[in-house]
Amino acid sequence: MSLSFDPEQISLPVGHFIGDRLLEAPGLLPMRRPSDGSFHAECPIASEEIVDEAVQTATKALKTSNWGGGRPRERANVLRRWADLMESEAEALAQLEAVSSTRPVGQLVAGDIAVTAEQIRFFAEFADKEGSDLVPTDDEHLGMIMTEPFGVVGAITPWNFPISMAGWKLGPALAAGNAVVLKPSEMTPFSSVFLAQLAVKAGLPAGLINVVLGDGLTTGAAITGHPDIAKVSFTGSTGAGAAIMANVARTGVKPMTLELGGKSPQIVFADADLEQAAAAIAGSMLANAGQACVAGSRLIAHALVAEPLVEAILARMKAVRAGPTWDAATTYSPIISERQRARIHAIVQAACAEGAECLAGGEPMKGSGYFYAPTVLANVKQSSPAISEEIFGPVLTLQTFTTEEEALVLADHPTYGLAAGVFTRDLSRVLRITRALSAGTVWVNGYGRSRDHILPTGGYKHSGIGKDLGREAYHANRRSKSVLIHL
């Protein structure tokens, strides 16, 4: 059965989800569908009062349900049931996501939703398996490191992979015994509301997930500055991450996980398997049309292999199938908004005006919707905004090198250190380069996540603080108390 659907037939849950009910709210922010540019909804903006109601509801739910103090295995069971429901309702969930985002419906069902359900199960397993520690002390004492949930976690997510990002935040926070107030992006809020509704249906005590809709300046700031939000977990741009740190500092201190922007290099040496490298590099730029934090947007290729490598990448770029996100055959996504597409185009034009050579694309695609052609820019100056700025679109820059040292100089970014790719058959070089790279993740002879959720993700430099996924994400949602008993 085809997953294609009619976007006009989708009914959107426009409102905040607080406790176990949808609080309908007037829409304030106009939303346009990226696939055809048509106006399709308005996103409400939760005021400070509504955010406070969500936080109070979460606090009360933690007390009445004893979620953090009850039997850990029961927490795990509820989360597994929630994951099952995500899979059985995958089509409805995918439609809500696809209609207003850049995620094609086919990729959602087989990818984002399937992976998110597995990640929720992954985190559920921590609930009854990771505990506190008895530590070595002398016989006169007993030392313990006791871990506990924080209480109410404030989570804020971006628009580029809304379901996946909500899963990264909700899974570990809930498994670790917390409640969550989640603010999805104002551009793609509805799938998060549905995820919360499914969680309650799965038996999660009402009030443990509350979803408030709104923008960063009003709703986001009300969450991060709320005195009863014990921890902030944020994914988004570096600028917004810095603003959140400042806002938190205004009212005190609290722990933060910040997953921020990137401008990741992919270094290809002359001995690399070029077909393998081309597939990985093109795949990373074409996935969500380059609108991914880890997009490997800076190709740094050995001068001897740059030409055949780029040819193989271009062949893959030509094979994309752009189309509306509600068409099951679509493999290439639109850009999220007209404004973002114009920004991408301005950076490309500025690079070309400075002497960069456009080997492919370099312009918006014809037709309705905010599509931008897959683009490759060669001879780009290291000082160009095409190299220094996170473009967040399908634009790959090419720079060449002849020595390993040169490659490392080009790869090092003054601001970002999220991820990097290395392609070579030389194991010693792999280890040397991996050590030298300033990046939170290094992928070798491939690019992108596997379905092993145990590998954490997070950035060096301005790409972030702390990790999502892996054991780290679970532990980041618990705090530890050192206890010394004098016997």
Residue 359 is a binding residue for ligand NAD (CB under 6 A): no
Q: What is each CA distance from 183 to 103, 177, 189, 221, 391, in whole angstroms?
A: 19, 19, 8, 10, 24
Question: Do the Cβ atoms of 268 and 309 come closer than 8 Å?
Answer: yes
Residue 221 is a binding residue for ligand NAD (CB under 6 A): yes
Looking at the Cβ atoms of 113 and 312, the one nearer to ligand NAD is 113
Taking alpha carbons only, the member of 207, 213, 380, 370 closest to residue 297 is: 380
Half-sphere exposure of 165 (CA within 13 A, CB side): 27
State which of residues 68, 72, 236, 362 lies at the interface with ligand NAD (CB under 6 A): 236
Q: How far is the CB of 379 from ligand NAD (least distance, A)?
A: 26
| Tokens of residue 241, six digits | 């991450």
Active-site entry in 293, 363, 389, 405? 293
- Amino acid identity for residue 280 in this structure: A
Taking alpha carbons only, the member of 116, 181, 190, 126 closest to residue 152 is: 181
Q: How far is the CB of 419 from ligand NAD (least distance, A)?
A: 9
Active-site entry in 53, 97, 186, 259? 259
State which of residues 34, 111, 149, 220 lies at the interface with ligand NAD (CB under 6 A): 220
Looking at the Cβ atoms of 302 and 453, the one nearer to ligand NAD is 453
Residue 116 is a binding residue for ligand NAD (CB under 6 A): no
Looking at the Cβ atoms of 256 and 272, the one nearer to ligand NAD is 256
Using left for φ > 0, alpha for ψ between -120 and 50, and beta otherwise, residue 470 falls in left
Residues 6+ apart with CB under 8 A from 247: 221, 224, 225
Residue 216 is a binding residue for ligand NAD (CB under 6 A): yes
Residue 390 is a binding residue for ligand NAD (CB under 6 A): yes
Site string for ligand NAD, 403-422 (x = CB under 6 A): ---------------x----
- The stretch near ligand NAD (CB under 6 A) out of 118-126, 201-209, 215-223, 356-364 is 215-223
Residue 261 is a binding residue for ligand NAD (CB under 6 A): yes
Element containing residue 32 per DSSP (H, E): strand 29-32
Strand partners, 417: 460
Taking alpha carbons only, the member of 226, 283, 282, 266 closest to residue 250 is: 226
Residue 464 is a binding residue for ligand NAD (CB under 6 A): yes
Residue 102 is a binding residue for ligand NAD (CB under 6 A): no
Taking alpha carbons only, the member of 217, 225, 219 closest to residue 250 is: 225
Q: How far is the CB of 282 from ligand NAD (least distance, A)?
A: 20
Residue 462 is a binding residue for ligand NAD (CB under 6 A): no
| Separation between Cα atoms, residue 39 and residue 59, nearest integer Å | 37
Active site residue 118: no
Site string for ligand NAD, 48-87 (x = CB under 6 A): ----------------------------------------
Looking at the Cβ atoms of 186 and 327, the one nearer to ligand NAD is 186
| Tokens of residue 301, six digits | 């290729």
DSSP 480: E
Question: Do the Cβ atoms of 186 and 211 come closer than 8 Å?
Answer: no
Residue 243 is a binding residue for ligand NAD (CB under 6 A): yes
Active site residue 293: yes
Taking alpha carbons only, the member of 49, 43, 160, 168 closest to residue 118 is: 168
Give the catalytic positions in this structure: 259, 293
The binding site for ligand NAD (CB under 6 A) comprises 156-160, 183, 185-186, 215-216, 220-221, 224, 235-237, 240, 243-244, 259-262, 293, 390, 392, 418, 457, 459, 464
